[in-house]
Amino acid sequence: MTPTAAPAARPRLDVVTFGEVMGMLVAADTGPLADVTHYTRSLAGAEINVATGLVRLGHTAGWVGRVGDDPLGAHALAALRAEGVDTGQVTVDPEARTGFQLKSRVLEGDPEVVYFRKHSAGSRLAPSAAADAYVRDARHLHLTGIPAALSPTARAFTHRALAAARDSGRTVSFDPNLRPTLWPDRAEMVRTVNDLAVRADWVLPGLGEGRLLTGAREPADVAHWYLERGVRRVVLKDGARGATLYDATGGSWAQPVFPVRVVDTVGAGDGFAAGLISAHLDGLGPAAALARAAAVGALATTSHGDRDGLPTRARLDAFLHSRTAA
């Protein structure tokens, strides 16, 4: 009798992401950072924002990174665990400090952000067999262009994680999240980021980023640049003008922004990514996925902290119901 093959094990996590977490000191008062005397402590990091957003929406998510053996690192680990983010592949580095940033408080527009991250623990992220296995044991990998800019070892980790996900048949989303000041020059940034982007299933650039990376001007041409290179979906975010999803079948779907009282725009793109990944995990179609992404992104702008406005599933459902019922 031929033995029956055992069913494949269910992935332990829905999503894995990785990068650098930083302490964030948010100004208590408006005005230039040089004049501020009181700050509130929080956390910053595009990838931890996405992981937090996914957990609040009812999914399981893990984050891989390094923190220093210091108060900021201890706070980051405690805060992520309190949210329910899996930190089983986070390393505490005894030789480097956790980076941090100062963030201004504004009444409108984008806040000023000043980074203190050179030679940080987060920049010492490096590949490992354990991290490879961790990535393979998830349904989806989300990555950004930030780790590849931090150091050669973090860039190597990025390529290894992407290869592990692709080899295991996992879906991959990629948000360029361009940080030009972290790169030696624009040409290397464009080359490296695009090399990662074309190996992902979905690419999620802002329109300005897409224009810089591809040289195209029209949104459809930016999207087609990636689609022609094997990407399955491109979602272009265009600020107050909303977002458009293009896919490999030739379809496109547009989504306007949801009007909210904007307090702080930082983290909106991370919320958008969390909403889009959540929709994928729940099997939603393109239009519904865009609506969820836009809603999470909008709600993320309603508080001063990068993660504070990320909604629970109940808040998201109530928000979407109120908009569709109006």
Q: What is the set of active-site residues?
A: 270
Backbone Cα Rg of the chain: 19
User: Can you give the chain as a three-state secondary structure string?
Assistant: CCCCCCCCCCCCEEEEEECCCEEEEEEEEECCHHHCCCEEEEEECHHHHHHHHHHHCCCCEEEEEEEECCHHHHHHHHHHHHHCCECCCEEEECCCCCCEEEEEECCCCCCCEEEECCCCCHHHCCCCHHHHHHHHCEEEEEEECHHHHHCHHHHHHHHHHHHHHHHCCCEEEEECCCCHHHCCCHHHHHHHHHHHHCCCCEECCEHHHHHHHHCCCCHHHHHHHHHCCCCCEEEEECHHHCEEEEECCCCEEEECCCCCCCCCCCCHHHHHHHHHHHHHHCCCCHHHHHHHHHHHHHHHCCCCCCCCCCCCHHHHHHHHHHHHHC
Determine the Cα–Cα distance for residues 72 and 97; give it in Å rounded to an integer: 8
**Residue with token string 């930030």:** 146
